[in-house]
Structure 1
């Protein structure tokens, strides 16, 4: 029965190399007594490689590495050969082959996979947040949000929330109607993160009529009448005067354009 010692060497965290090493070792049970894995993370200096190879030789270890810089891969391979120990390059052959296939040089920047993973999960969190706190369902989301959208019905609050969520912003949106008092949380947030969406009465009338038709209803319902729209807009103006937030006219703006205005203002305010 043999004892296998593997050194996992990476210029990032080393999770990928360790998982592959474990998966490979799991295929050998009869002749293998124990498997010992030691991870060496964030290795970006050639002197570190010398020390690792020295330890590997002393412990009769196999070195498994994922190093994105070609100079570091060359260094560790050469040192292992000089020391007479085994080493396995998990990343180099794939990167080199992809470089040939794509006709370009790799970035050779450590940690990009982790950055991509973190970015992905941040986007998922933001999307789930936008769904949870859509349409004023839970006013607690107002205090947690990066962006708060307010406006009367049919001013594109929900699609705008989802678009901004895909840009990694946590967004809560709140509809304003005269019969319902706006949540107290609206008046307790930084007005710089609150954006009021305004639209012309004529455009809103047209949108609401089309909405009623899509639902199989008559387009002369109170919801689409000018008197009702003007009442809602008057209430909307009262609320935004109290908050003191930024007003954005979405009458002739696509969702993407409105999102860009919001993001630009947020970035300007953060400076």
Structure 2
């Protein structure tokens, strides 16, 4: 299979474009793809410098460029070079414009405007970092979500991912010999979610962690009976407290976070009283 050069151009950070490309590439097994990432492209001069790489590494061009002049220049040069090019948000934007009855704004990086949502996300990230690994339990009531699970069940990376989506998250490691603070069982505001995984998978992850730290790979930390006891201890705690449980064995961080967000949305919908409409005549 020939190698594909994939050029990703954005007039902002390119986060959206990268996520779309990653999701699309996941549909193809064994694809040999070299990605060329070009963020913050906001002038013809910048674009002209990038086009030199197009000539050296021709391939598929995916872009999100709001400025009509810059976009037109890119499209013209791609046609000249015979390169396929796709404006990845056009179809969605056109569909929304048609349904909303208004034209879309040509606003580079509009999703990163420093509005209330931006500052809420910053606050969430700061809170989450300050409440990682059981720290700051006195303030857990301020969290939106609390993740609980034994060591190496992806609590921290999932917390950070959720924080980037605007959720204040705390996480707590569950250790058989050291029960969590009693405040965990008295929380009213936050949604507590238990993370669990298959014992063999957990042992493999822990062994890899020990190897990366140049530590012995044969310790109680990776002992099969000990690991099963830890997971049983955690599952029993989840069940006793009626917490939602997510098995992360075959889930990526993004998939785990998506499952947590869905649970949070369902909980919010249940807690929101129905709006009273007009009484029937």
Q: Report the equivalent of 1:215.
A: 213
State TM-score, norm by structure 2: 0.56
CA–CA separation in structure 1 for the residues paired with 2:223 and 2:133: 22
Question: Does the Cα contact within 8 Å between 1:141 and 1:172 map onto a contact in 2?
Answer: no
Report matched runs for 1:11-50 at 5 Å. Answer: none
- 2:195 equivalent to 1:197: yes
DSSP-derived class of the 1:150 partner: strand
Q: Report the equivalent of 1:154.
A: 152
Question: Does the Cα contact within 8 Å between 1:192 and 1:266 map onto a contact in 2?
Answer: no
DSSP-derived class of the 1:263 partner: helix
Structure 2 CA distance for partners of 1:106 and 1:136, relative to 1, 3 Å: same
DSSP-derived class of the 2:194 partner: strand
Question: Does the Cα contact within 8 Å between 1:99 and 1:106 map onto a contact in 2?
Answer: no
DSSP-derived class of the 1:136 partner: coil
Q: Report the equivalent of 1:237.
A: 235
CA–CA separation in structure 2 for the residues paired with 1:135 and 1:191: 20
Gaps of at least 5 residues in structure 2 are 1-65, 73-89, 91-102, 270-281
Q: Report the equivalent of 1:169.
A: 167
CA–CA separation in structure 2 for the residues paired with 1:98 and 1:115: 16
Partner residue of 2:130 out of 132, 141, 144: 132
Highest CA radius of gyration, 1 or 2?
1
Task: Name which of structure 1's ranges 220-229 and 155-164 shifts more when overlaid on structure 2.
Answer: 220-229
DSSP-derived class of the 1:169 partner: coil
CA–CA separation in structure 1 for the residues paired with 2:128 and 2:67: 38
Deviation string for 1:205-259 (max 9, x for gaps)?
1111111111111111111111211221122123212221101000010000011
CA–CA separation in structure 2 for the residues paired with 1:113 and 1:230: 44
Gaps of at least 5 residues in structure 1 are 1-96
State TM-score, norm by structure 1: 0.58
